[in-house]
Amino acid sequence: MGAVKSKRMPRAVREQQMLDAAVRTFGQRGYMAASMDEIAELAGVSKPLVYLYLNSKEDLFLACIRREAKALVEAVRAGARPALPADRQLWAGLTAFFAHTARHPDGWAVLHLQARTHGEVFAAEVTAMRADIVTFVTELILAAAREAHRDPHLPGREVAGLAEALVGAAEALAAWANSTPGVTARQASATLMNFAWAGLGDLMAGRPWSPPEGEAPDTGAGSGADVHTGRTSPVR
């Protein structure tokens, strides 16, 4: 009797195993230090098979970035339920963001640390992912403005800047939370909501912060000006 042949694993399943091993290796060791031998061994396959499926180390890393970016954006959008008020949507979206980055620290390291520093092609993928999240946050801020005022007075540039600042703060806070024992996704979300939404609430209510009267005109970034005091004034 001939030997019984084992059932071949579907290509898609095998490829995901390779990507799992690659994300873990790239996330923990860094792109430059990671080796295809190590990735193949962790995936339980031969190195030639990794090359057969994913062509090169660069293509493998790109596939990892795209998979992790897609999963993160989907988690954030799924977490923020459209039926909720804008602040609850943002809270739910932030909680989903921090929960995902906590559950997938290697994937977050690939996106936040490795992809941005190892070539324009890799960085462009993360830039696209970030732009998607910034657009989503911009929509939430505009929705909050509509809830507070039927005719919101927030300039488009200011809304875009607020969204960029909020996403940047979330990225920094995720890195901090992942390296600080005991910080939960809900705690990280509450920290950012207390930091950002309280101020946004004043803005929506027509009480934006503005420089003190008599302040020197804006001379642009890098002027060395340092403003320590301010006041709130109604939107006109």
> Residue 191 and residue 207: Cα distance in Å, rounded?
22
Reduce the DSSP state of residue 112 to 3 states and report it: helix
Residue 172 lies in a domain: yes
89-130 pLDDT, tens digit each: 888 999 999 999 999 999 999 999 999 888 889 999 999 999
Reduce the DSSP state of residue 232 to 3 states and report it: strand
CA geometry: angle at 105 spanning 101 and 110, to 5°? 100
Q: Which residues pair with 231 in a beta bridge?
A: 210
Residue 153 lies in a domain: yes
User: Residue 129 sits in a domain of what CATH number?
Assistant: 1.10.357.10
Residue 21 lies in a domain: no
Residue 45 lies in a domain: no
Residue 183 lies in a domain: yes
Residue 15 lies in a domain: no
Residue 174 lies in a domain: yes
Residues in the chain: 236
Which range of residues forms the domain containing residue 179? Answer: 57-207
Q: What type of residue sits at position 155? A: P
CA torsion, points 118, 121, 126, 130, in degrees to nearest 10? 130
> Residue 96 and residue 83: Cα distance in Å, rounded?
16
127-174 pLDDT, tens digit each: 999 999 999 888 888 877 776 665 556 667 778 888 999 999 999 999
202-212 pLDDT, tens digit each: 666 666 667 77
Neighbours of 112 (CB within 10 A): 20
Residue 10 lies in a domain: no
The structural domain count of the chain equals 1
